[in-house]
Amino acid sequence: MSKVQPAMKLRSHATKKTAGVPGWWKQFRKNRFLLMLTLPMVLFIFLFKYVPMFGVVVAFKRFQFNRGIWGSEWIGLSNFKFLLDSPDLWRIVRNTLAFNSVFIVLNLAGALLIALLLYEISNRRLLKAYQTVMFFPHFLSWVVVAYMAYAFLNPRSGMMNQLLEWMGYASLDYYNLAGPWIYILPIAQLWKEIGMGAIIYYAALMGIDPTYYEAAKIDGANKVQVLFYVSLPFLYPVMTILTILAIGQILEADFGLFYQLPMNSTTIYATTDVIDTYIFRALTVNGDIGMSAATGLIKSLVGFMLVIGTNALVRKINSDNALF
């Protein structure tokens, strides 16, 4: 009894000591080491995502380098009016939305299919080899990919034209024909990014409790039934979150893909010109920083509204799969 009483006194003393401490501080103390691990990324996001937001004022000014941001003339919505009156607006918005919509569908279906196939591989060496081969293109620069594509599409000595000539067809000047790029760009984007999506879905599959698969086999389920009643239901939340985030970036065209891969050929702008390449030309050719900032602001606002709207729709259908 004499040994129990000192322990009870120590416990009551500790309780009194922490009684007046706020709950958030307790959580901070408890998870301080994990929070320290997130600190570099938090600083990165703050410095490169939040601090530049103050420069949004440039969209409402006729920016001049000698006057700076705050000294430049305030012109209100003139930059937005110039953009909306531009004859290129329909083209760049159409191309951006159309290509990104195709990318979302292809990446979702392709990455999901690859992940499900990888999950069926039992040989660990083969699995690692396949993952490496598919994941490696993600780390290649679009400049490198552009020259790889040029080896295939070169008008004179490209492999595709050599194949066409061997089959008895006339060679094509791909860098002066807008039509083929409707197919070339999605194929290149899928080849480069499908590995990243597949790894994410494969990781989600690895997190599924194996007892679900064992129970399905005991019940006599075949491969197709296991796919639709076990694997896919567990992947729905990940699929939904990635799709919501992709829709939020539907106006964010991959600059390297649309600028480097077609070699910035002016004759195929009808297919390859998107919002990001348009902003780039406005900066480098026209030097119009105000209009570029206005375009970027519109992109950000539309993307924000799309994320909110898509998430609200998902929350109405199934709140468990919503992002927030």
Residue that is written with structure tokens 């990919």 in the block = 145
Q: How far apart are CA 262 and CA 253, in angstroms?
A: 14
Q: Of 239, 134, 130, which is closest to residue 191 (Cα–Cα)? A: 134
**Which long-range contacts does 67-75 make (Cβ < 8 Å, 24+ apart)?**
75/290
Q: How far apart are CA 98 and CA 185, in angstroms?
A: 12
pLDDT at site 184: 94
Token couple for 187: 């194929």
Q: Please, what is the average pLDDT of the chain?
A: 86
Average pLDDT over residues 301-314: 87
| DSSP secondary structure letters along 148-195 | HHHHHH-TTT-HHHHHHHHTTPPP--GGG-STTHHHHHHHHHHHHHHH
E strand intervals along the chain: 61-64, 72-74
Q: What is the pTM of this model?
A: 0.81
Superfamily of domain covering 84-321: MetI-like (1.10.3720.10)
pLDDT digits (tens, 9 = 90+) for 159-217: 888 888 888 888 888 999 999 999 999 999 999 999 999 999 999 999 999 999 899 98
Q: Is 141 left (phi over 0), alpha (psi -120 to 50) or beta?
A: beta
Q: How far apart are CA 273 and CA 190, in angstroms?
A: 19
pLDDT at site 21: 63
pLDDT at site 26: 83
Token couple for 6: 């000192």
Residue 201 burial (10 A CB sphere; 0-12, 13-18, 19+): buried
Q: Is the pLDDT of residue 90 over 80?
A: yes
**Confidence label for 18 from pLDDT (cuts 50, 70 and 90):** low
Q: Where are the domains of the chain?
A: 4-44, 84-321
pLDDT digits (tens, 9 = 90+) for 20-62: 567 788 888 888 888 899 999 999 999 998 888 888 898 899 8
Sign, Cα dihedral of 191, 192, 193, 196: positive
